[in-house]
Structure 1
Amino acid sequence: MTQVGEGHETAADEAGPVLTFGEPAAGEVLAERYQLEQHVNNDSAGRQVWRGIDVVLRRSVAVVLRHPGGDSATEMLQAAVAASRVIHPNLVGVYDAIDEQQRAYVVREWVDGESLRDLVATEGPLDPARAIAIAHSVADALTAVHATGMVHGNVHPGTTLIGDDGRVVLADARADAADSPEADVRSVGGLLYFALTGRWPHAETGRSALPDANRDSTGSPAAPRQVRAGIPAYLDDLTMDLLDRRVAAPAAEALTAELGRLDAAAEDEEYEEVGPLRFVQSGGVPGEPARSAPKILLGVGALVVIAVIGLIFGIRAINGSSTPNASSSTSAQADTNTQPSDAGTASGAPLGEPQKIPLTADMVRIVDPPDGGRKDGEEAKFLVDGDDKTAWKMSFFNQPNFGGIKKGMGVLIHLDKPRQLSSVKLSLSAPGATIDLRYGTKDFGDSSKGDEEAVAKYVKLTDADAADVPTAGEQVSLIGFDPAQTYEYVLVFITKLPPNEDGQGYKVNVNELELYGY
């Protein structure tokens, strides 16, 4: 986050007010009170963030501005008004919210310091104790927000600010109807994951321009301890439980209490010996460390299911021995009634863990838009032959953007039927390629024109910003599939190439491609 420069009050006096309308400008005074000094950045929602001066109270402020205002800014203003009602040391103070129709803006506290996003970008992943302290402050702020019946809806490394004085504050609430207290709490797990690894788990906490978590072949994020050595097991467990939707999320106050305990232990340099997690969601035996209530419930539920299945088979066995002439069709009908009627389709949630979908050579082809030589088509079969020693060997280029002669190259997958999908896994010869995932409703033909139409008309499954983040390793998992949707045509499209292994030009080979779904 941009620092507030010394002597800014003097600069404001010398510049004088500039009263304009439309696009904001440095020196302009809003509402006859808030003078804009410096454009800091634009946030993910397209709002401009400015450093300014409250010329009445002579203090620095942050001005979050949308142009135009009116209906497009209603959500921003409502969230700001709601946030202003909650006073907490770990929440940024909201001073004003104004809609001028032509544009709207929120005036809030300016924090001297930087965001968690910028801190990690500068210093790298944080040590466990510091990550715990930051997460504790954010969870404490969320406890205050949730106590009023509101949600924050925008917990992210870019809205988590660390002041030069060490204070941690959460800024820029942006809740809508789709947000929930659970989503806020799980985002604290995302903050821990980001602070410990430098990566933000997109599928679990929301899309971002930040690099996604490293993922295994099923699309699940790698645990922090798998990414980086020296992370205590209890902190690894806590982070992954918060991100795992199969484990019920604790209330914000329970998470705050747990992080407070870990934070205190870290200050005494005893955090390696803090013992098991203690989310207390119901009464327990005094003096006994409490197990996670959700996990206990899962275990009890599994036992109940086993007992019911055993009872059903026992009854069937008794019935079968007493009625030897019962028709087989009766048993078949009973079995059908115990299974989902449309398993594996978009009508319900995916069943079980994602499985590798068998791909054959006739289900994949190389996409090479116009101005390409279309010489790589015969190598598509090497992507699905199960042999890492064979590969689609791309041509050599002088620039990472394919020499500027085309938008990229990719692989089109045509499934034999629409499927629910989870992820695509690639084995590359080198890290650093930029890849996005797209889908369509048809193959426009194995030709230059058909490839051009596919690239233009297929819909990206990743955000534009996220798609610009290069891959960090040679094993890459691409995610973004909607579990409520089925896909038949999928395009894995490479838009930028990494440096060649010999340092001359740009090139990458794709050794294997695997598709996972339900």
Structure 2
Amino acid sequence: MPSNTGPSIDTITEGGRVTQVGEGQEAEETSPAVVTFGAPSVGELLAERYELVEHINNDSAGRLVWRGVDVILRRPVAVVLRYPGGDSATEMLQAAVAASRVIHPNLVGVYDAIDEDDRAYVVREWVDGQSLREMVAADGPMDPARATAIGNAVASALAAVHATGMVHGNLHPGTVMISDEGRVVLADARTDGADSQESDLRAVGGVLYFALTGHWPHGEAPLHGATAGHGRAALPDAVRDASGAIAAPRQVRAGVPAYLDDLTMDLLDPEIAPPSSDVLAAELSRLDIPADEQFLEQAGPLRFTADPGEEPSPLAAAGGRRVALGIAGLLAVALIGLLIGVNALGGGDDGDKEPVAQPSSSAPATGGSNEVAAPVRKLAIQDVRVVDPDSKKRDELNGAEKVMDGGDDDGWETDTYNSAAFGNFKKGMGIWVDLGAPHTVKSLQASLSSTGASAELRAGTKDFPSTSNGDKQLVAAYSTLIGQPFEDHDGTTMTFNGFDPNQKYQYLLFWVTELPKKDDGSGWKLGVQEITVQGS
């Protein structure tokens, strides 16, 4: 067993892959030694169900992190122990209880919290992967698309936390985990009352800055829980001018889009009020699109959107960089209109006149038009329903509306079947989506309850009655496949982006062909937590 007084971040290697749990507060060089009296041992069984397998690391808060196994549910877990328990473990246990109330795919799941006086421990989800700090240290700064995706995941997790009135309070590159499957999860929330939702949002700016540049912008006065400048876990400070002001990401490295640069700097600017976490998550979701489609280069200046009738978000009304970009955009539109008008007045049939040069557009040309493409955004889903053509009972139709409620904590789920192929008597089941009107669609994203599912996305042009016969007709008519099917998918998010840019879509069918096996091995079942459609 590794020494209990080793460095703050130790890792184990399994087959060449680093296995690690969220770092929490990182230790300083002067951190006191972790109390080891009565320390656990390999094979010890806690609460008659959690078997300790291997010691992973210690941290400056006096906690020991172990990899373990829940012998009842037969799943890997992380066990975080503190010696002693009682009053000294109150903050850790309170944070665990609070975290257990918020279920979100981008938050580490908390399973149990136990105080035995001489020790206390928290049992949580085991994550195979690396922290953002480790990943950037190993591979260097990330491309804008990946940094945006991580920022979106973190903001979405914070939105779920903030919706309960709580704060995370410990957001930094060491508590942002990226699993081997690419899932981004946030770990080690705190409840000591020293933070606010605003400080959480400022920390999102810090995470974006770190992902884009490899530098931490909070220097010697980090946000609570972030420990740049301390000990072995030190993070490189941002480049600063003589007055101490940090350099923008675009000044540190090339290729960072202007609007992503502005968003990051505005989140770090104490003079600009940040948006709420749900608004920030929605805007980052709008920008979180596949890198190979290069929408990040076409998305234009960042604008926080608001529903009709709502007040504009704080950043939409803020002055500074985006106001200048907005004015430049208006001038560009005016110039396009002026040139088109001059061309029209000049008479298109006079071959003796030189043609007026037309301004180019960064948007893809469609039919020879120079119209600027509409910005990509989250499309409103008008209606959803379950499609189940091979069932006589039709008892799995309820709950479809949960896939469009804006959160991943609840969704529609199938019954439990005795095989992946729906008990060998169904070809599949699905969720039918009505966008209310034809739209240019860029992607559809389905958030699932577990890995191992197989599914495909189909498109059609007609609605059918919600009956067995109507469902049969719908499945037969929806023959257009969008992108490639996902077979035995190893993630919990499926993103379909093979839409024809010259076509408009109103009706889509997320069609599940195989179910994943349940964790306890008692059958096959799938939950569809949320469906999100991006387009214009």
Q: TM-score, normalised by structure 2?
A: 0.49
Q: CA deviation at 1:42?
A: 2.2
Aligned twin of 2:243: 218
User: 2 CA distance for matches of 1:216 and 1:54?
Assistant: 52
Aligned twin of 1:103: 119
Change (3 A) 1:30 1:177: same
Aligned twin of 2:168: 152
| 1:295 aligned onto 2:295 | no
Structure 1 counterpart of 2:264, from 239, 244, 266:
239
Change (3 A) 1:143 1:3: farther
Secondary structure at the counterpart of residue 145 of structure 1: helix
Larger % of helix: which? 1
Structure 1 counterpart of 2:227, from 207, 218, 225:
207
| Alpha-carbon contact 1:4-1:112 (below 8 Å) kept | no
Aligned twin of 1:33: 49
User: 1 CA distance for matches of 2:172 and 2:59?
Assistant: 12
Secondary structure at the counterpart of residue 79 of structure 1: helix
Instruction: Give the partner amino acid of 1:72.
Output: S
Q: CA deviation at 1:235?
A: 1.0
Q: CA deviation at 1:290?
A: 10
Secondary structure at the counterpart of residue 288 of structure 2: helix
Q: CA deviation at 1:186?
A: 1.1
| 1:43 aligned onto 2:59 | yes
User: 2 CA distance for matches of 1:2 and 1:129?
Assistant: 28
Change (3 A) 1:204 1:22: closer
Q: CA deviation at 1:27?
A: 2.5
Aligned twin of 2:39: 23
CA-to-aligned-CA distance 1:144-190 (integer Å, 9 cap, x gap): 11111111111111111111111111111113211111111111111
Structure 1 counterpart of 2:128, from 112, 124, 130:
112
Aligned twin of 2:295: 270
User: 1 CA distance for matches of 2:213 and 2:11?
Assistant: 24
Give me the identity figure in percent.
Answer: 68
Please list every run of 5 or more consecutive structure 1 residues that lacks an aligned counterpart in the other structure: 7-19, 300-518
Q: CA deviation at 1:212?
A: 2.0
Change (3 A) 1:213 1:169: same
Q: CA deviation at 1:239?
A: 0.7
Change (3 A) 1:270 1:169: same
| Alpha-carbon contact 2:275-2:315 (below 8 Å) kept | no
| 1:74 aligned onto 2:107 | no
Q: CA deviation at 1:289?
A: 12
| Alpha-carbon contact 2:274-2:314 (below 8 Å) kept | no
Change (3 A) 1:44 1:191: farther
Q: CA deviation at 1:3?
A: 6.5
| Alpha-carbon contact 1:277-1:291 (below 8 Å) kept | no
| 1:94 aligned onto 2:110 | yes
Structure 2 counterpart of 1:185, from 175, 197, 201:
201
Structure 2 counterpart of 1:257, from 262, 265, 282:
282
Instruction: Give the partner amino acid of 1:150.
Output: M
CA-to-aligned-CA distance 1:238-281 (integer Å, 9 cap, x gap): 11111111110110001001101111274621201211111246
CA RMSD of aligned residues (A): 2.8
User: 2 CA distance for matches of 1:124 and 1:4?
Assistant: 21
Between stretches 76-85 and 34-43, larger displacement belongs to: 34-43
Secondary structure at the counterpart of residue 160 of structure 2: helix
User: 2 CA distance for matches of 1:178 and 1:280?
Assistant: 31
Secondary structure at the counterpart of residue 105 of structure 1: strand
User: 2 CA distance for matches of 1:199 and 1:37?
Assistant: 35
User: 2 CA distance for matches of 1:81 and 1:74?
Assistant: 11
| 1:139 aligned onto 2:155 | yes
Instruction: Give the partner amino acid of 1:229.
Output: A
Change (3 A) 1:176 1:281: farther
Count of residue pairs the alignment pairs up: 284
Change (3 A) 1:86 1:280: same
| Alpha-carbon contact 1:278-1:290 (below 8 Å) kept | no
User: 2 CA distance for matches of 1:144 and 1:119?
Assistant: 25
Q: CA deviation at 1:294?
A: 3.4
CA-to-aligned-CA distance 1:432-480 (integer Å, 9 cap, x gap): xxxxxxxxxxxxxxxxxxxxxxxxxxxxxxxxxxxxxxxxxxxxxxxxx
Aligned twin of 1:15: none
User: 1 CA distance for matches of 2:302 and 2:104?
Assistant: 26
Change (3 A) 1:162 1:268: same
Q: TM-score, normalised by structure 1?
A: 0.51
Larger Rg: 1
Secondary structure at the counterpart of residue 295 of structure 1: coil
CA-to-aligned-CA distance 1:343-368 (integer Å, 9 cap, x gap): xxxxxxxxxxxxxxxxxxxxxxxxxx
| Alpha-carbon contact 2:272-2:315 (below 8 Å) kept | no
